[in-house]
A and B are shown apart, each in its own frame.
Chain A
Amino acid sequence: MLDALRFITCGSVDDGKSTLIGRLLYESKQIFEDHYQELEKASGKYGTQGKELDLALLVDGLQAEREQGITIDVAYRFFSTENRKFIVADTPGHEQYTRNMATGASTADLAVLLIDARKGLLTQTKRHSRIVSMLGVRHIVVAVNKMDMIGWDEAAFNAIVTDIRALVENFGFASVQAIPMSALTGDNVAFHCEQTPWYTGPSLLEYLESVDVSKPEAIQPFRMPVQYVNRPNSEFRGYCGCVASGSINVGDSIRVVPGGAEAKVKSVVIWQGEQPTANTGDAVTITLDREVDVSRGQVLSSVDDPIEISDQFEASVLCLSEHHLVPGRPYLIKLHTAQVGVTISNIKFKLDINQGSHLAASTLELNDIGEVTLYTNLPVAFESYKQCKTLGAFILIDRMTNETVAAGMINFALRRASNVHWQSVEINKAARATLKSQKPACIWFTGLSGSGKSTIANLLEKRLFVAGQHTYLLDGDNVRHGLNRDLGFTEADRVENIRRVAEVAKLMVDAGLIVIVSFISPFRAEREYARSLFQEGEFVEVFVDTPLTECEARDVKGLYAKARQGKIANFTGLSSPYERPDSPEIQLNTLNCSPDQCVQTILSEVIKQQ
C-alpha cells in the first residue's frame, strides 16, 4: 500500500466541492448505514437536489452550513480504497472564509481545483490556485465539474483547460491533471463516463490512487527544532522534538542554533529504549554528552552545515484577520518552535489576485496576499520555505487579542544577524545617570485630543527642572513638524509615528534623561510596544482620562468642530478609535483634579519608582 495521500478540494462557491467529497466517500463505500439514513433524512430537509440524495450534506457538518447550503469551515474526512488511504480537507469557496481554505491547503500534498464547466475560471479559482501554489502544494487536479450540464462538450472543456494552464504556467506545479467530470452523477469520478470517449485519461479516484507526490530525495542537513526540554530529575536531560530534515546518529556532533554551543549526541531515546539514529519525521528525545544551554525554540543542527540565523526576512504573507496588518505594529511570530517579537517594517507589494500584478499598499487586509520585510527582536534559526516547510513557515499573532493575524513563508533573509554587532560602548546609561544624579525614565502621556496632556506635561517638566532634574519633553504636535512630518493620520502612519517617538525616547533615556512623551497614542499595541523598549520600572504610562464630551466642549484648538464638519479624516474619538489603557501606572481624572494636583500625583509615583 502507498503512503496516505492528503489532499484538498478547492475552487469557487457552488463549484461542487462538498458534493465531490460526498461522492468519493460514497463510491469508496465509506458511508455507514446509519450515516446514510441520516443523509436521506437531511436531504429531504436541507437538500438542494430535489428528491435525489444531496451528498454535500455528508461533509457540511455544521448546522449553519446545512441551513445555508454552503461550506464555512474546513472539514477533514477519511476514506480508503484497496490501494491507498486518504485524508481530504473540504475547504470553503467563499472569499470571506479564505483563511479556512488556507488552513486545509497548508498540509496538503495535492489540490483538486474544481471549476464549474458552465462558468469557467472565476476570481476564487485564481485566488485558490495562487494560494495553493504559494503554500507549496506541488500537484493539482483541475476537476472540470458539472460537465453533464453542458452536454459533455469537449470544446468547452478544452477551452477551460487552456485558460487554467495559462494561469498556472508560472506557479511551479510539478503536475497538472485535468479531468472532465460530474460529481453529481459520479461520471469520471470513480468510473469512466460513456459520454466522454474523447477523454482517455484516468478517473479522479484512479488518479488519486496512483499519483506519486513524493519529492525527489536529496540529502538534507540535520535539523531538529527543540520543542520541549525533558528534565524529570538531575540524572536526565533530554531535548524533545521532531526531526525537520536530515538524520543524526549517536556519536555525531551537533550545534545549538542560535547560540553556537556544540556537543555530541549521547543517545536517541524512544519509548522504553533507545535507537541508533533519528530520521526526518521521527518524534524523539535526544541527550547530549555534555551540559549545554538548550531551550525551546533553538534548533539542533548538523555541525558541518549548520542552520543560519537572522533577524530580518523577506516573506510572503496571507492576511487572516479582519484587523489589517500594519507596518510598525508589534506582533509575535511563531516560526517552528521559536516565538519572538516581530514587526513588519515594509510592505513591498500586495498581489492583485486577478492579474497577478503587484500593487502598492500601506496595509494588508483580510485575505490579501503580499510580500513584506520582517524584523524580529531576537535572531532566530530558519530555512527558506522552499528549502524546508517546517523551518520556513510562520504565523503572526496579535499581542493583545491573541488572534492569528497572518500566515507566512520566509523567502530569504535580508542579512545574517551574525554579521551585525551592537556597537559596544564604554560609557553606559548607568554612568550617565549617575553623573546627573537621577534615575532615567520615560513618562508617557496618552489621552484624547484636548484631554489636557500637554498642559500637565508642561507643568510636570517645569517642576522637574526646578528640582534640578534633566528632562526633555516630546510633544506630538511638535514632532510632527520635524522628525515625522512625512507621516499622515492613517492607521499605518499613526503606528509609525509612535514607533519613531518610542525609539527616540529610548535613546534619550539611554542618555540618562527623564523623557516626557505627550502623544494621543490611541492604540494599545503601540503603547505596549513602547513599554517593551524599556526596562522594568522605567516606563510610566499616564492616562489622562478626560471624557470625549468634555474634550469636545473644551476644543482648545477647534479641531473637534472641524472634524464634526468632516474636514478632518481619521480623528481620534470620532472617526478613529481610542483604545483605553487596561492598567496604566497612573490614571488622571481631569474633571475633579486641577493640573497642579495631577502633577503632584505623577511626582509622588515617580519618586516611589526612584
Chain B
Amino acid sequence: MRSKQSQLEAQSIEIIREAVATSSNPVMMYSVGKDSSVMLHLARKAFWPAPPPFPLLHVDTTWKFREMIAFRDLMAKESGMELRVHINLAAQEEGISPFVHGSERYTDRMKTEGLKQALDSGGYDLIFGGARRDEEKSRAKERIFSFRAPGHRWDPKAQRPELWNLYNTRINTGETIRVFPLSNWTEADIWQYIASENIPIVPLYFAAERPVVKRGDKWIMVDDERFPLNAGESPEMRLVRFRTLGCYPLTAAQESNADTLEKIIEETLAASSSEREGRLIDHDGAGSMERKKQEGYF
C-alpha cells in the first residue's frame, strides 16, 4: 500500500510536469514560506537531473522579514533557477505602508497590484502557486488548474470541470492558468514532508527569542526600524515562532518553544486555531479571500 505521503508527492509531481509540458511560458510564484519550499522541492524532483525549466517569481512588498529575503536568495542559488523579483515601484514611491494605509489598501497595492504587474510584464501563460485547499474555504473550492480570464479574473461560478487527472490546459491569448500542485496537502502533510525530506525552511518557523510588541491580542515582531513604536514602548524579547510567513507587520507570532521539526509537528497536530489566524488580511470582512482571489490575488 502506498503511503498517503508518497501518493501526494507523485500527484504533485505529475501536476507540475503536466503544467510545464502544456504551457509555453511558465513561472513559479515563490513566496519563501514553507509551502513554497515544498513546492520548489517537488519541482526539483520532477525534473531531476535538470533544474526546473522555469524561473521563480517573488513579488516583494518591501515589508517581508529580512530573514526571508536572505533565504530566498540562497534557495534560488541552490536550485540553479533564475529568480525574478518584482516590486510595485509606483506604490513604493507613494510610500504605501501597512502602518499608514491599513492592511487592506496596502495589500491591494503591494501584493495584488504588484502581482498583476509582474505577471503582465513577464507574459506568463501559466503560474504555479503554493495554495492549499485546507487553508480557507474559498480555496477549498478552487481547481488544481485554475483558469483566469484576461485581467487575471477568477470566476468561481464558472470553473472548468476537472475530472480525473485530465487537465484542460488550452487557453486563448490574454488568458492564463494558475496551477496549485499542493491543492490536496494539509498543513500537517507539509510539515511531515519537510521533516522526512529534510527540506530547508526559513528559521523564523522555529521558536527563538525575538523582539515583539503587542498589537491588539497579537504579537508582532519588530523586524526593522520602520516599525512605529508608541511613545515609551520598547520591544520585549519573547520565545516565539511563526506558523505562517508574510509581511512582518501583518503576520502575528505565536508564543511557542517548538524549536525542532518534531515539536512543530506536535504543535501543529494539536493546534486549536487555523494557521491563517495569524494572517491579519484574512479578517478584512466576510468573503474577503474570495473577493481578493477574484481580483487576482493568489
Seen from chain A, the residues whose Cβ lies within 8 Å of a Cβ on chain B are: 3-4, 32-35, 42, 45, 58-64, 66, 72-78, 85, 87, 99-100, 102-103, 106-107, 214, 227-228, 230, 232, 236, 240-242, 269-272, 281-283, 285, 296, 320, 332, 334, 337, 389-390, 393-395, 397, 402-404, 407
**Interchain CA distance A404-B21 in the complex, whole Å:** 19
**Interchain CA distance A393-B166 in the complex, whole Å:** 8
CB within 8 Å for A76 and B133 given contacts A32-B272, A32-B274, A62-B156? yes
Quote the shortest CB–CB distance from B186 to chain A (angstroms). 5
Q: Which residue of A lies closest to B20 (CB)?
A: A228
B230 in contact (CB, < 8 A): no
Q: Which residue of B lies closest to A396 (CB)?
A: B168
CB within 8 Å for A32 and B1 given contacts A102-B163, A285-B48, A407-B161? no
> Out of B1, B137, B184, which one reaches A3, CB within 8 Å?
B1
B56 in contact (CB, < 8 A): no
Residue interface mask B157-170, A partner, CB < 8 A = 1? 10111111110101
**Interchain CA distance A60-B168 in the complex, whole Å:** 25
B86 in contact (CB, < 8 A): no
> Can you list 16 residue pairs at the A/B interface with Cβ under 8 Å?
A32-B271, A32-B273, A32-B277, A60-B137, A61-B136, A73-B157, A76-B184, A78-B134, A227-B14, A228-B21, A269-B49, A332-B170, A390-B165, A393-B164, A395-B168, A407-B166
Q: Are B164 and A78 in contact (CB under 8 A)?
A: no
* Chain B residues within 8 Å of A393, by CB: 163-164, 166
* Chain A residues within 8 Å of B1, by CB: 3, 214
Q: Are A283 and B140 in contact (CB under 8 A)?
A: no
Quote the shortest CB–CB distance from A65 to chain B (angstroms). 8
B215 in contact (CB, < 8 A): no
**Interchain CA distance A281-B138 in the complex, whole Å:** 30
**Interchain CA distance A257-B186 in the complex, whole Å:** 38
CB within 8 Å for A283 and B14 given contacts A77-B140, A402-B172? yes
**Interchain CA distance A272-B197 in the complex, whole Å:** 12
B10 in contact (CB, < 8 A): yes
Q: Are B166 and A283 in contact (CB under 8 A)?
A: no
* Chain A residues within 8 Å of B184, by CB: 76, 78, 87
Q: Are B45 and A282 in contact (CB under 8 A)?
A: no
> Out of B49, B133, B166, which one reaches A334, CB within 8 Å?
B166
Q: Are A59 and B140 in contact (CB under 8 A)?
A: yes
Quote the shortest CB–CB distance from A330 to chain B (angstroms). 14
* Chain A residues within 8 Å of B136, by CB: 61
Most chain A C-beta atoms within 10 Å of own C-beta, residue among B138, B159, B170, B271: B170
Seen from chain B, the residues whose Cβ lies within 8 Å of a Cβ on chain A are: 1-4, 6-7, 9-10, 13-14, 17-18, 20-21, 44-51, 133-134, 136-141, 156-157, 159-166, 168, 170-172, 183-184, 186, 271-274, 277, 286-287, 290-291
> Out of B49, B160, B271, B287, which one reaches A236, CB within 8 Å?
B49
> Out of B10, B141, B161, which one reaches A282, CB within 8 Å?
B10
Q: Are A281 and B7 in contact (CB under 8 A)?
A: yes
> Out of A73, A106, A283, which one reaches B163, CB within 8 Å?
A106
A-B residue pairs, 7 tightest by C-beta? A61-B137, A232-B50, A106-B163, A283-B13, A32-B274, A402-B170, A63-B287
**Interchain CA distance A264-B35 in the complex, whole Å:** 38
Quote the shortest CB–CB distance from B23 to chain A (angstroms). 11
Quote the shortest CB–CB distance from B80 to chain A (angstroms). 11
> Out of B140, B160, B171, which one reaches A76, CB within 8 Å?
B140
Most chain B C-beta atoms within 10 Å of own C-beta, residue among A58, A59, A85, A271: A271
SS class of chain A's interface: helix, strand, loop or mixed? mixed
CB within 8 Å for A269 and B48 given contacts A32-B273, A34-B277, A61-B141? yes
* Chain B residues within 8 Å of A320, by CB: 161
Q: Are A334 and B10 in contact (CB under 8 A)?
A: no
CB within 8 Å for A271 and B133 given contacts A3-B1, A106-B163, A395-B166? no
Q: Are B7 and A404 in contact (CB under 8 A)?
A: no
**Interchain CA distance A389-B164 in the complex, whole Å:** 9
Q: Which residue of B lies closest to A231 (CB)?
A: B50
Q: Are B134 and A77 in contact (CB under 8 A)?
A: yes
> Out of A62, A76, A389, A395, which one reaches B138, CB within 8 Å?
A62
**Interchain CA distance A33-B275 in the complex, whole Å:** 11
Q: Are A64 and B10 in contact (CB under 8 A)?
A: no
**Interchain CA distance A447-B136 in the complex, whole Å:** 51
* Chain A residues within 8 Å of B4, by CB: 3-4, 85
CB within 8 Å for A62 and B45 given contacts A33-B272, A240-B17, A389-B164? no
CB within 8 Å for A61 and B157 given contacts A402-B170, A407-B163? no
**Interchain CA distance A111-B139 in the complex, whole Å:** 23
* Chain A residues within 8 Å of B7, by CB: 3-4, 281
Q: Are B273 and A34 in contact (CB under 8 A)?
A: yes
**Interchain CA distance A62-B141 in the complex, whole Å:** 8
Quote the shortest CB–CB distance from B216 to chain A (angstroms). 14
**Interchain CA distance A178-B139 in the complex, whole Å:** 32
Q: Which residue of B lies closest to A280 (CB)?
A: B2
CB within 8 Å for A283 and B9 given contacts A242-B14, A395-B163? yes
Quote the shortest CB–CB distance from A435 to chain B (angstroms). 42
Most chain A C-beta atoms within 10 Å of own C-beta, residue among B46, B162, B184, B271: B162
CB within 8 Å for A270 and B45 given contacts A34-B273, A76-B184, A394-B166? yes
Most chain A C-beta atoms within 10 Å of own C-beta, residue among B47, B50, B168, B277: B168
**Interchain CA distance A3-B1 in the complex, whole Å:** 7
Q: Are B274 and A61 in contact (CB under 8 A)?
A: no
**Interchain CA distance A552-B130 in the complex, whole Å:** 57
**Interchain CA distance A252-B124 in the complex, whole Å:** 40
Give me 7 other A-B pairs in contact (C-beta within 8 A), A63-B287, A334-B168, A397-B170 excluded. A61-B139, A85-B4, A214-B1, A269-B48, A282-B10, A337-B18, A390-B165
Q: Are A103 and B163 in contact (CB under 8 A)?
A: yes
CB within 8 Å for A63 and B286 given contacts A397-B170, A404-B168? yes
**Interchain CA distance A13-B137 in the complex, whole Å:** 20
* Chain A residues within 8 Å of B46, by CB: 240, 283
Q: Are A283 and B157 in contact (CB under 8 A)?
A: no
Q: Are A42 and B286 in contact (CB under 8 A)?
A: yes
Q: Are A227 and B21 in contact (CB under 8 A)?
A: yes
> Out of A73, A296, A394, which one reaches B141, CB within 8 Å?
A73
**Interchain CA distance A332-B141 in the complex, whole Å:** 27
* Chain B residues within 8 Å of A106, by CB: 163-164
Q: Which residue of A lies closest to B6 (CB)?
A: A281
Q: Are A271 and B138 in contact (CB under 8 A)?
A: no
> Out of B18, B156, B291, which one reaches A73, CB within 8 Å?
B156
**Interchain CA distance A103-B165 in the complex, whole Å:** 10
Q: Are B290 and A62 in contact (CB under 8 A)?
A: yes
Quote the shortest CB–CB distance from B161 to chain A (angstroms). 4
Q: Are A61 and B160 in contact (CB under 8 A)?
A: no
Quote the shortest CB–CB distance from A382 to chain B (angstroms). 13
Quote the shortest CB–CB distance from A74 to chain B (angstroms). 7
Quote the shortest CB–CB distance from A184 to chain B (angstroms). 20
Q: Are B134 and A271 in contact (CB under 8 A)?
A: no
CB within 8 Å for A3 and B161 given contacts A63-B290, A282-B10, A334-B168? no
* Chain B residues within 8 Å of A285, by CB: 48
